[in-house]
Amino acid sequence: MKKLYRSRENRMICGVAGGIGSFLDVDPTVVRVLLVASLLLGVIPAGLAYVACWVIIPDEPLLGE
């Protein structure tokens, strides 16, 4: 079973988009573009959702963990 983690490899700000992209098997760039578009359009409170994901989703474990 796949688990959702914040990415350590594909991290631009804090790894949320990279982790979601990895979990959904989608390029993280697509997730980032959708996030920015939703921020600009004000469709959902995307900024709050991003911060909530940053706080809730744990970092990807290191190989030794």
pLDDT attached to residue 49: 87
pLDDT in tens, 6-51: 988 888 888 899 899 999 999 999 999 998 898 898 877 888 888 8
Distances from the Cα of 12 to the Cα of 7, 17, 32, 42, 65, angstroms: 10, 8, 10, 22, 23
pLDDT in tens, 49-59: 888 999 999 99
pLDDT attached to residue 44: 73
Sequence-separated (6 or more) residues with CB below 8 Å from residue 19? 4, 5, 6, 7, 57, 60
pTM: 0.81
Q: Where are the domains of the chain?
A: 16-56
